[in-house]
């Protein structure tokens, strides 16, 4: 898919999403951005899109709500004239011991990481079909592609991201006839989570065969490749510096 004059919706507009929005705009796309609480970063991303000469729209959305997912997709499509690419980046990532998990801790990542990916795709797919096809890019996790969890304390997150991989495969089959290609990225050590100590960051580097964090640009490259492809669908590709090999 050539991005000139296409419309892209990114859920989750901070950190990696901000850099991705700017690059999509440089390649000719108009960009819609959703955020939960990070309005300042979403507006920063929108400013970068406009500086590249493209249109940008930001919208606050509680993506744990199926109704909010549908409303977001429809609102962005109205504002920008359609929808061609959906990038499901919104995520809930919280560490909590299994014994301390409550219902809200369980439901949050399931609702946002997995549920929003489904409901946004469900709302987006008729809009893409009307324009001759589209691309959906979901976000899983490198641990899921290895078929086993690697870290204690992230049980709901791991289950949700495993569900995203399965969702990607099932959606790819469902939507292939409409020329909507669905793939996922399983990110590894790209950016250190906020609050990561220097010692913890170095430990991740030692555990990664390439010996470093990847940086936002590596995810941008992968997303662009999945938008560009005309024949790959149902795949989850690792961007983890070889982390899964150890």
Question: In this predicted model, what pLDDT tens digit does every residue of 105-138 receive, in sequence order?
Answer: 999 999 999 999 999 999 999 999 999 999 999 9
Q: Report, as an integer, the average pLDDT of 189-197.
A: 88
Greatest CA separation for the chain:
51
CA distance linking residue 158 with residue 169, whole number of Å: 17
Beta strands (DSSP E) in 151-216 are 180-187
pLDDT in tens, 68-95: 999 999 999 999 999 999 999 999 998 9
Structure confidence at residue 229 as a pLDDT band (50, 70, 90): very high
Tokens standing for residue 103 = 């219902």
Beta partners for residue 180, in sequence order = 134
pLDDT in tens, 18-73: 999 999 999 999 999 999 998 999 999 999 999 999 999 999 999 999 999 999 99
Q: What is the DSSP letter of 125?
A: H
CA distance linking residue 157 with residue 93, whole number of Å: 6
Kindly list the structural domains of the chain, giving each domain's residue range(s) and its CATH number in brackets, ordered by start: 7-238 (3.40.50.720)
Tokens standing for residue 202 = 């170095």
For residue 29, give the nearest of 44, 14, 48 by alpha carbon.
48
Q: Report, as an integer, the average pLDDT of 187-209.
A: 91
For residue 73, give the nearest of 7, 140, 157 by alpha carbon.
7
């Amino acid at each position: 898919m050539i991005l000139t004059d296409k419309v892209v919706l990114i859920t989750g507009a901070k950190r990696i999403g901000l850099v991705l929005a700017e690059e999509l705009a440089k390649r000719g796309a108009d960009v819609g951005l959703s955020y939960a609480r990070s309005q300042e970063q979403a507006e920063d991303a929108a400013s970068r899109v406009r500086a590249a000469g493209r249109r940008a729209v930001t919208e606050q959305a509680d993506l744990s709500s199926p109704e909010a997912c549908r409303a977001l997709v429809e609102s962005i499509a109205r504002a920008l004239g359609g929808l061609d690419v959906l990038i499901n980046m919104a995520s809930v990532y919280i560490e909590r011991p299994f014994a301390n998990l409550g219902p809200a801790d369980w439901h949050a990542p399931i609702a946002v990481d997995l549920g929003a990916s489904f409901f946004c795709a469900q709302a987006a797919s008729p809009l893409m079909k009307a324009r001759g096809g589209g691309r959906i890019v979901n976000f899983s996790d490198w641990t899921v592609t290895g078929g086993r969890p690697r870290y204690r304390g992230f049980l709901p997150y791991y289950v949700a991201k495993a569900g995203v991989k399965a969702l990607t495969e099932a959606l790819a089959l469902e939507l292939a006839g409409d020329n909507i290609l669905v793939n996922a990225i399983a990110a590894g050590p790209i950016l250190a989570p906020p609050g990561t100590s220097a010692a913890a960051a170095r430990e991740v580097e030692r555990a990664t065969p390439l010996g470093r964090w990847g940086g936002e640009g590596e995810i941008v490259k992968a997303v662009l490749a999945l938008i560009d492809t005309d024949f790959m669908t149902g795949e989850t590709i690792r961007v983890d510096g070889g982390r899964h090999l150890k």
